[in-house]
Structure formats: C-alpha cells, structure tokens
Amino acid sequence: MRVNQKRHISSRKTVLLLLAIATFCVIFFMTFNLKGNISYILTHRVWIALTMILVAFSAATSTLLFQTVTNNRILTPSIMGFESLFVLIQTVVIFFIDAQGIPYIGIVGKFIFESLLLILFSLFLYRGLFTKLKQNLHLVLLIGIILGTLFRSFSNLLQRLMTPTEFAVLQSRIFATFTRAEPVLIVFSLVIATAIGLFLWRMRFRFDVLALGRDNAINLGIDYQKSVTIILLLVSVLVSISTALVGPFTFLGLLIANLAYSISGSSQHRFLLPTAFLLGVIFLVGGQMFLEHVLNMVGALSIVIEFIGGSLFIFLILKKVPM
C-alpha cells in the first residue's frame, strides 16, 4: 500500500508541476512584450491561447480515450483518418452548399452540422473495425492509412473542381494555424469541451477498466458496446473541435499521449488525462513562444510538432510492433 500511495503522490505531483508550467507559459504568452494597443493585442492573444488550450484538450483526450478503447498506444484518431474525414466533410459542405450559403446557418450551425456528419460516418466506419479486428494492429493501421488517403484524395479532387472563391474559404480551414479561429466558434467549443471534460471526469474509473481489454471489462460489469459507442462519439466531437479551429494536426495527440504514459508513472486516467492535456498546452503555448521569441520563426509550430510527433510514430512502429 505504501509504495502505491507513493506512486500516486508522485503522479499527482507531476500533474501539479505541469499545471504550474502550463500556467506560466500561458501568462508569459499573454504578457510578453506587450506594447502598442494593449487591449487589442491582449484580446488577440486571449483568443489564440484559448484556441491552443482547446486543441491541446481535444488532442489529449481523444487520443487517450481512443487508445484505451483500442488497447494500443500507437493508433490515434488522426492516424486512423478522423481528421481527413472531417476535412472531407468540410470540403463537401463548401462544395455543395456554396460559400455564400454558409452565412445562413452561421459558423456554429455549420460546425454542428459537420460534427454530426463526422459522428455518423465514424460510427458507421470505425465501430466494427475496433471490435472485430483488434487482434491485428497492422491490418487496422493499414486500413486507417488507406481510409485517410482516400478521404484526402477525394477532398483534393473536389478542391480542384471548386471556384477560386470557394477554395479560398476552404483553404483557410485546412492548414493548421492558430490565429484565425472565429471567436464565436472558440466560445462554443469551449462550452462543449467543458461539458465533455466533466463527463469524462465522472467516467475516469471506467476508462481504467476498459484499458484491461474487452473481456476483462465485460467481466467487471461494463457495458462494453455502449462504452465503445460513447467513446467514438466523444472522439468524433473532439476531433471536430480541433480540426474546425485550427485544421488537421496528425501527430500531436500521439506525442502528448505517449509522453503522458511515460512521465505520469500511473496507468489511471485520473492522472493520465490531465497530464496529457497539460503537456499539450505546454507544447503548443510554450512552443509557440519559443519559436516566436527565441528563434524568430512565426507560424512554424505545427510543422515542428508534426515533425517530432511523426518521428515518434516511426520510432514506436519500429520498436513496439512486432513485425
């Protein structure tokens, strides 16, 4: 018992330490080099910081939940093509309901519509895949990559057929940048993310049981099918949030989830979830500051994170998956 308590204390300490670093990063990001029209710059920075926090939350929780329910630490929603599917949905929506049509339903309305489509398609496409093919990681990975490529190619095709105005509207959505998210969408996402966060916190012990695998989870009285459906639904909403705000971010989730596994010292979701989330905030906000103020490279953050995350992915594939 004593060693267990010690481990829990250290896992908690890790969370608190990360919380301190993340808070410091956010405050520093807001206040550093504050000159000129202060209220304008501050508002601008608040929106960017909120966007980054939302993206960190979505990437961390969607990846952790996805990996818990699929019992692996390599596949993530992004790698399995969720984001590409969302981009495809965005493309199709703009293609068929032209850019002028969007003001009628509003940005939030469009977001809800697109998320619902993503939920629908992901339940249809992925639900069977995880319960049936779980034994064969390689096959599932391959299917995911093929699906992702298919969605991307189809988006590309439609983008080529678009009028330049439509394409301009779309283009701003499908490249990861943190500076152009709509405030109304940020606020709306914040409300949804908070609701999801509270819900997840209530389910935190159930996730620990789900991580034991299907058979053990059923043995311990968990309604497995229902849990898988709920998690896929939440993952879809979270992917929608982050993709709608900043665009696709393939390897961020993989990076922070795997770092969380190794530094948390616990397999319990009450530690893993906050650890991964705070790591995400530190990576995004801290990384942005570092690149902007130290290296003078604005706008390169997504490239750097994708590079590190992508390298980790290759490393994990080579190291952990028995060939």
Partner 1 sequence: MIKIDNVSKKYQTIPVLKNVNATISQGGVTAIIGPNGAGKSTLLSIISRLLLADEGQVKIQNMDVVNTPSDKLATYLSVLRQENRFTSRLTVFELVGFGRYPYSKGRLNQDDLAHIHRALEFLNLTEYKDRFLDELSGGQRQRAYVAMVLCQDTDYVLLDEPLNNLDMKHAVAMMKQLRRAADELGKTIVIVIHDINFASVYSDYILAMKDGQLVYQGSPKKIMNSAILEEIFDTPVKIENIHNQNIAIYY
The Cα 134–Cα 66 span in angstroms is 12
Taking CB under 8 A as the rule, which mask of x and - marks residues 29-68 in contact with partner 1? Answer: --------------------------------------x-
Question: If binding is defined by CB under 8 A, does position 3 make contact with partner 1?
Answer: yes
CA nearest 256: which of 268, 273, 270, 269?
A: 273
Q: 241 and 192 in contact (C-beta within 8 Å)?
A: yes
Cβ at position 137, least distance to partner 1 in Å: 11
Question: If binding is defined by CB under 8 A, does position 205 make contact with partner 1?
Answer: yes
Cβ at position 37, least distance to partner 1 in Å: 50
Q: 111 and 188 in contact (C-beta within 8 Å)?
A: yes
Question: If binding is defined by CB under 8 A, does position 131 make contact with partner 1?
Answer: no
Name the one range near partner 1 by CB under 8 A: 115-123, 125-133, 166-174, 219-227: 219-227
Cβ at position 195, least distance to partner 1 in Å: 21
Question: If binding is defined by CB under 8 A, does position 134 make contact with partner 1?
Answer: no
Cβ at position 231, least distance to partner 1 in Å: 15
Find the binder of partner 1 among 12, 45, 73, 134 (CB under 8 A). 73
Name the one range near partner 1 by CB under 8 A: 16-24, 69-77, 118-126, 146-154: 69-77
Buried-state track 187-223, b at ≥16 Cβ within 10 A, e below 16: ebbbebbeebeeebeebeebbbbbbeebeebeeeebe
Residues that bind partner 1 (CB under 8 A): 1-4, 7, 67, 71-73, 204-206, 208-209, 211-216, 218-224, 267
